[in-house]
Structure 1
Amino acid sequence: MPPKILIVDADPVERLHVEACVRRFGFAAEALAQGAEALARLRAPGAGRPDLIILDIDAQGFELLAALDARGFPPPAIVLACGALAQTPGPALDAGAFDVLRKPPDPERLKASIRNALRAARLEDELRRLARRDGSGASLEDFHGASPQMIRALDLAARAARETLPVLVEGEAGVGKETLARAIHAASARRERPFLALRCAAHAPGALEPALFGGPDGDGLLAQARGGTLFLGDVCALPDGAQARLLDVLDAGETRVMAATRRNLIERAKAGRLREDLYFRLAVGPIFLPPLRRRVDEIDGLAAGFCARACVDHGRFPRAISAPALALLRAYGWPGNVGELARAVERAAALARGGELGIEDFPAVAARVEGFLPFAPPLARAADARGAQGSPFLRLLDDDGEARPLAELEEQAIRFALERYHGRMSKMAKALGVGRSTLYRKLKDYGLAGSRGEAEPSPAQDGAPRPDAAA
């Protein structure tokens, strides 16, 4: 979803101008006349928090800045001013404004200020999240819940954090099962105790039981996690002996057990590959994390968070992700789910040279999505991008990945113009940037002169001059 920007300006003409600019930049906009209206809107129950406020200082601007500052962690505010305040922006900046622009704002200057403010806000949010984290390195705030399945999963996770019962997290590889388990632990009363993880599928069956329960000295993971949380990834890989002993641990309740699986665990239990009594003990509070391909609306927020975190980790100036790059990320299927997205964004943020991540910073992703080229904007995301006759898009590559001949591209462009302008030669010639006689000759070359190209007489028929006769 695009960032939401609240515009507050008493002048209706200026308000409409700024709103039109904001929408043209690709952001969502809401416009109000007075600061009091904006404050009431922000205080309304269930009202969504805007990502940015553009504020006319004459529309009770200083009062609104003070009220926002009192709320703690307000959205950034860009102040629009004229006269002396535009010359000396210090008072507005001291009151909490991110930037001060002269009215009416230059569109390019406004666009740069908006992007800088949003970028700084994302970095501040990420720094606050990092500061709130404990040693588990995860927080429930790291998860986005736009889809119904994800909203339900996070609701169950918040409930699980208040309980001590076992937790079963289900989902494909890479959806964040262990991360969610760590976040539940970090939000629970056991947060000061250890969180230890064992990925069962990564060990030979004979090594799992000693790793869990230890030897004669009891130095296994269960002993180390006493009073805390033990996370078992791919729990169905546990051998029978370990499953039986794990039931005793669950009965004792001294250590909380969280388990994860990428397989249908109830089917494994029915097939005899997992003890049914163990399944029912673990599945008291099952949580299903849907794959990222079913959570496309969350990709923008996830990518922004990963980008801000990577900039912090690598000591880079905070970067935004361009709209074309976000379109690319949404178009990709992400078979590796959230983990793959995190790695792709971290790599792009660490290696990018510009102030904004573009399609060229995600070459491996662009190579896998039809209609995107690593160093060009997206051609199309619709089925029409295949380059069929009548499509508004040109496919630049053939089926072998080679550039298509110019003649083919020219013919497709002319066919499209025929459809677009209903065979009106003057409009077609003007749009394509060629003379009418040249266009008529190309229509004949491509066998199109008898279709719609004769809706107007040719230059030779109507006696019109031939300015391009030498073409």
Structure 2
Amino acid sequence: MTRVLIVDDDPVQLRLTAEVANRAGFKPLTATGGEQALQILRDDRNIGAMILDLVMPDLDGMAVMDAMRREGLTTPVIVQTANASLETVISAMRNGAADYFVKPVSPERLVISLRNAMKLDALEATIRAERARKTGTFTVSDMIAKAPAMARVISLCAKAAKSTIPVLIEGETGVGKELIARIIQGSGERAGKPFVTVNCGAIPPNLVESVLFGHKKGAFTGAIADQTGKFAEAHNGTIFLDEVGELPLDTQVKLLRVLQEGEIEPVGAARPERVNVRVISATNRRLLNLAKTGEFREDLYYRLNVFPIYTPPLRERLEDVPALVAMFTARFAAEAGKRVLGISPPALDMLMAYDWPGNVRQLENAVYRAIVLSDGAFLETVDFPQIVAQANGRDIAARAIETAPVAAAPTHIDMATARQRIAFEQPAAQDRFLDPSGEVAALAEIERAAIVFAIEHHGGRMSRVARALKIGRSTLYRKLHEYGLAEELINDAA
């Protein structure tokens, strides 16, 4: 559930806004002043949006936004105030506000503003990550990796970034091994330096040596000019050897010399050249198994596998799926020019239940296809026919597509008939005054159930619960202890 921070010194307005956000499916956090709001934002960088009052006694809204800009806090801000002057609106927008409205605001307007702000935040986060990737400053904050399974990966990245030790990243295809390599480079002293990626499995065997180490003019037929190799391009930076297990055995020998001596020998060169390159390699197969079968040199394996990092597949870090879907949706909706605000709960539940053999890359492609197919404001289950087919079978997927509201043929307005409505039989609800055996429940059980319902209905605000039940607060607390509810409330709060 996305968290929303609401900041207002008026307790009534604070409660009203929090209730609107709660009913819209958000989890509201509240603050009564600017200093408290800033501290919450510093402690939790994953808050989806903030609704900020401009006029507050300790630190006003403009000062809060100034502090956020100085400290690099990028949470989207929606400003609300009683002052409707044009000058105030312009100042708020210049300070980075995503939206602005005057109190009182309708609940519908508030919910739409929250959803738009979060979509904008996801798109801005994607742009920041892409900018960091291109400038060589990609760090942990630019990657969605909040799942517990990724904690060790992030910890190892931080340790690897402090040295130039060779790193071997292992993991299935599509898990994001290149992003892990970029985090190591962007978090260390080589940040901003060249980052050269080489897909070893995509280079023709007869050109591998030339591509990696370069060649001189006339070294072979077609070598009409000197060519700089990938290692020379990565001088003083980092080279990422993706699918390093696909390298031919004769090239592996020369790669071993580069790692041992720090020298490359271009094809046709008279003498070797010194290079200062940090090597990060990756593979979707166990290099140890390849070394045992003779497909990979054992001595090179031990040179590359100095600092191994295993990246878990997406099925082991499903906690990241909602954030990944939100990021992909914002990005692809912007590219396609569609107003897709997010994904429906049933569709997200389906994606969370899928095992994703193609990992993050498959999820990215599935969301892209869904954006193209979608005609609504939210992605629905029917927009993921391939996932439905693989998860439930092709027959169920075909039936789901067939039942979608699409006209089979043109129908003249005079011939149109009323749409058939499917009648659902609601199961008979058990009377609340009867126990499971059908007997009249004891008075204490009925009273306890009424108190539990009132607490849930009023969000745990005991003053409102007592007023609704027409009893005093002391009586309410006595009954909480009497029915064993006080301890449950304490555990829920903890």
Normalised TM-score (structure 2)? 0.66
Name the counterpart of 1:452: none
Question: Which deviations, in whole Å up to 9, do the C-alpha atoms of 1:296-352 show, x marking residues without a partner?
Answer: 111122222223333454565674344444333322221110111122223334554
Residues in 1 aligned to 2:9 and 2:137: alpha-carbon distance in whole angstroms: 46
1:176 is displaced (CA, Å) by: 1.4
Aligned partner letter, 1:63: D
Where do residues 426-437 of structure 1 align in structure 2 (5 Å cutoff)?
none
Q: Is the 8 A contact 2:318 2:352 kept in 1?
A: yes
Residues in 1 aligned to 2:80 and 2:310: alpha-carbon distance in whole angstroms: 47
Call closer, same or farther: CA 1:105–1:240 in 2, change over 3 Å.
Answer: same
Name the counterpart of 1:115: 115
Name the counterpart of 1:157: 157
Name the counterpart of 1:232: 241
Matched, 1:94 2:94: no
Identity of aligned residues (%): 37
Matched, 1:251 2:260: yes
2:60 to 39, 60, 63: 63
Where do residues 51-450 of structure 1 align in structure 2 (5 Å cutoff)?
51-60=48-57, 63-72=60-69, 73-82=73-82, 85=83, 87-88=84-85, 91-92=88-89, 94-95=91-92, 96=95, 97-134=97-134, 140-185=140-185, 189=190, 191-193=192-194, 195-200=196-201, 202=202, 208-209=208-209, 211-213=211-213, 217=219, 219=227, 221-222=229-230, 224-225=232-233, 227=235, 228-253=237-262, 254=275, 255-314=277-336, 319-350=341-372, 352-370=374-392
Aligned partner letter, 1:244: V
Q: Is the 8 A contact 1:123 1:308 kept in 2?
A: yes
Q: Is the 8 A contact 1:149 1:290 kept in 2?
A: yes
Question: Which deviations, in whole Å up to 9, do the C-alpha atoms of 1:384-431 show, x marking residues without a partner?
Answer: xxxxxxxxxxxxxxxxxxxxxx99x86xx65x868999698xxxxxxx
**1:134 is paired with a residue of what secondary structure?**
helix
Q: Is the 8 A contact 1:169 1:289 kept in 2?
A: yes
Question: Which deviations, in whole Å up to 9, do the C-alpha atoms of 1:93-127 show, x marking residues without a partner?
Answer: 52344334454542222211111121222223333
Residues in 2 aligned to 1:187 and 1:34: alpha-carbon distance in whole angstroms: 35
**Which deviates more from structure 2 when the two are superposed, residues 112-121 or residues 364-373?**
364-373
Residues in 2 aligned to 1:364 and 1:60: alpha-carbon distance in whole angstroms: 55
Residues in 2 aligned to 1:34 and 1:194: alpha-carbon distance in whole angstroms: 45
Residues in 2 aligned to 1:100 and 1:356: alpha-carbon distance in whole angstroms: 24
Q: Is the 8 A contact 2:148 2:317 kept in 1?
A: no
Residues in 1 aligned to 2:26 and 2:159: alpha-carbon distance in whole angstroms: 35
Question: Which deviations, in whole Å up to 9, do the C-alpha atoms of 1:38-89 show, x marking residues without a partner?
Answer: 234345xx4445321223445449713322223215423333444xx2x546
**2:114 is paired with a residue of what secondary structure?**
helix
Call closer, same or farther: CA 1:240–1:132 in 2, change over 3 Å.
Answer: closer
Matched residue count: 385
Residues in 2 aligned to 1:298 and 1:28: alpha-carbon distance in whole angstroms: 18
**2:127 is paired with a residue of what secondary structure?**
helix
Call closer, same or farther: CA 1:312–1:38 in 2, change over 3 Å.
Answer: same
Call closer, same or farther: CA 1:250–1:368 in 2, change over 3 Å.
Answer: same
Gaps of 5+ in 2: 220-225, 263-274, 405-421, 439-494
1:203 is displaced (CA, Å) by: 5.3
Aligned partner letter, 2:18: E
Q: Is the 8 A contact 2:137 2:192 kept in 1?
A: no
Call closer, same or farther: CA 1:5–1:223 in 2, change over 3 Å.
Answer: closer
1:195 is displaced (CA, Å) by: 0.6
Residues in 2 aligned to 1:317 and 1:161: alpha-carbon distance in whole angstroms: 40
**1:195 is paired with a residue of what secondary structure?**
strand
Residues in 1 aligned to 2:281 and 2:89: alpha-carbon distance in whole angstroms: 53
Call closer, same or farther: CA 1:374–1:288 in 2, change over 3 Å.
Answer: farther
Gaps of 5+ in 1: 378-405, 425-471
Aligned partner letter, 1:50: I
Question: Which deviations, in whole Å up to 9, do the C-alpha atoms of 1:171-209 show, x marking residues without a partner?
Answer: 001111234334544555274435140332x45656645
Residues in 2 aligned to 1:136 and 1:38: alpha-carbon distance in whole angstroms: 33
Aligned partner letter, 2:260: D
Q: Is the 8 A contact 2:172 2:284 kept in 1?
A: yes
**1:68 is paired with a residue of what secondary structure?**
helix
Aligned partner letter, 2:323: G
Call closer, same or farther: CA 1:241–1:361 in 2, change over 3 Å.
Answer: same
Q: Is the 8 A contact 2:136 2:191 kept in 1?
A: no
Question: Which deviations, in whole Å up to 9, do the C-alpha atoms of 1:23-52 show, x marking residues without a partner?
Answer: 222222212333343234345xx4445321
Aligned partner letter, 1:277: D
